[in-house]
Structure 1
Amino acid sequence: MTKLKKILIGSLIVTLSSQFYIDILLSDFRVSCAIIALGLFLFLNRDVSPIIVGITVGISTYLWRTLIYFLRYGNDYEVMVAYIPEIFFFIVYGILFSRLMKKFDFIGQHTILIIFALLDFTSNIVEILIRIIYFDHRFYFSIITSLFIVALIRAGAILIIATITKYYKILLLKAEHEKRYRKLLWLTMILKSEMYWMDKNMNKIEEVMSDAYTLFEEIRDGKNPDKWANRSVKIASDVHEVKKEYQLVLRGVRGITETRYRDNGMYFRDIMSILEEKMLDEIRFKNLDIELSIESGSDFYTDKHYQLMSISRNLIMNAFEAFDPNKKHSKISLVHKNLDKEHLFKIIDNGNGIDKEDMEFIFSPGFSTKINYETGEINRGLGLSLVKDIVENHLKGYIKMESVSGSGTCFNIYIPKEKIEVNI
């Protein structure tokens, strides 16, 4: 669902709920249920602008109430003007909410209750002041107590409904994760059968490599020239057989992952939650002294969850190798930012960095700076080339990299919103 559509639907809901109200003390001053709907909508939809919502709701509520009054009683200029201050209530509420919105992820429920009550109370005070200053309404001290009690009640209602909604979402998410887990187990079983054919072909590949090297030595040394042609044809035939076997395996894997077990998509925060859990497991398994931080930013729904997971996982795993085992305070951060037309994913580490002479080669397949000189084992160097391929060819994005040898590296992944966001 687009943000504009969300705002319009939310404004409609709040506007309709404004018809449930009570009048208190001041003429034309109403305490409505619209504030419960507005606070709940803003709290559950952090990706929309609270100020725009406040303005939209204020205007739509005013138009709705004046229309209802006109249809019931006819045109009355004074009444229609008297409804205007309520517009400022919603605008002030939206402005104050936008200032405090970023803090909601880091405070407890009791603090949220107080904040919503203060938002409600302050916005009402602004509306009353406008009525007193510009409409010559009388002020009653008793209204202060009444408004604060009403603000607490409405804030409590918002908190209760938000909590119920949160736990309901958790139950749905848990059920979805269990379903995915069962599918993953079945998928793993099928993939293992495909791995059998891949393992079987490894011996055949070793034989072909041996034959090819033997032929190379004979050609180099000029031995058995009458057999070169036949041996070349045999090597080509063997490679073709291996290729056919791998094509069958690849077709089988594609059929499993792209058809029978295709997922419609996931929310980005769920992807990051799974990634964080698995990467922390990897840190514990490898006994690494690394602090991992993931900031998912604003949420969105995507059908490119496998690609985003692969990009993030490869870059974080690559960062694991960038640290000196004796280094203390090693940190890796993944930061997501929602830009105007793009999503930015920053993967930052304070590891060893990359030497200048290696910078232009790090995305090349097979290139690696990670060699174990004791065992002779070399990292296969496919992680970064895979990241580059997914970002540029599949998601039409681009990568910017900054690195200082001895200080750390930062990968900036820019992906167009239209390539990964899905409206649901």
Structure 2
Amino acid sequence: MKRLKHILIVVIGVVIASQIYFDFLIQDFTIALSVVIFPIFLYNYIELNPIGTAILTGVSCTLYRFIWVYSSNMNFMKTIKITTPQIIFFTIYGFIFYFLYYKSKNKDLTRFILSVLCCDFISNVVEISVRTKIIGENGNMIKALFIVACVRTLMALIILIAMKHYKSFLIKEEHEERYRKLMLMMSSFKSEIYFMNKNASEIEDVMQKSFSAYEIVSKNNYSEELKNLTLDIAKDVHEIKKDYIRVMRGLEEMSDEKIDVEYMKIKDIISILELDTKDYIISKKLNIELDFQAECDFYVSQHFYLVSAIRNLIFNGIEAIDSKKRGVVKLKIKEIGDEYIFIVSDNGTGINESNLDFIFSPGFSTKYDKTGSICRGIGLTLVKDLVQHIFKGSISVESVKNTGTTFTIKIPIDSFRR
């Protein structure tokens, strides 16, 4: 099925290209673009037998041209004489290509180009000999045909090189896109693992308290039912802790194997964030402008955590912008003294002054989803933890209701020393 599809592509492509041509030297002999693209098809569809493909292509081109020529002169024999030599051209081309390139074990580009040159030249000589009924009598014409073969072969080479460069470009773009998505996924992944590690110590504290409660109940005159209940709670918390830690360790092992990049430049990080944010804005059809600027450049070792923190603030800013107005989200990075300053601002709805003291608290959120459920509210808590504990920095916020919000992160330069 795939081979049939490719044959149809070759036939249709060559037939269409055969309509782009110019007359050459003798009457009824044309130089067509089809001879340029035919070898390109053979080069790309290596599973096709060139002999069969060439014959089928020659017949198709001849029939197509026959219709057009006959409709203009209404002379059947004359039309046959004009069009049928084209079948000979493609047939000879297919046989020569089969033995020079298709059957060769060394299928490199040099051999391909030399094979195409021979195919083009010899096939043209045979075709024009059939048309004029002379073989080798016109030296000037032979030279001209060789020049034509060289020109068409050069055109085919240029197209092939362009295609190869374009494919390389697409592959590079695809790899960069995959890396960017993987980078962002891993930043979220590692940040969640960090948060899980923090929760693990809190689970440990709850477990110790539950066992302490059991000991207190056991030493005092409480009912057996209450003793059993406190013991069950302590055991359950212990089992939850074990399962939690096992899952967390497994996730840590998975994340450590995904991307092994020790350092990244801050400008590369910002570029990834900007592309990701633009894709999100376009997908959601938001009326938001981005202004990302990095006035300095430096290497970041804990780049996953930094990406997660900044990305969280950027998307908070996007969510805070009223869909009815032209939104602007800005990110600016600069160096002041012995600190790197990260400023993320938006012109959104702002935060109530009464909430500013609580926005970094665990569980606090001003967001509601469409069902009315409160969001889990760990975003800004996680950002603050990452800034303080990973980078030894600080984060502050300023907000004016209905005007916008600005988050400022300050991190010592020493935290980024290589």
Which TM bucket (shorter chain)? 0.3 to 0.5
Larger radius of gyration: 2
The TM-score normalised by the length of structure 2 is 0.47
The TM-score normalised by the length of structure 1 is 0.46
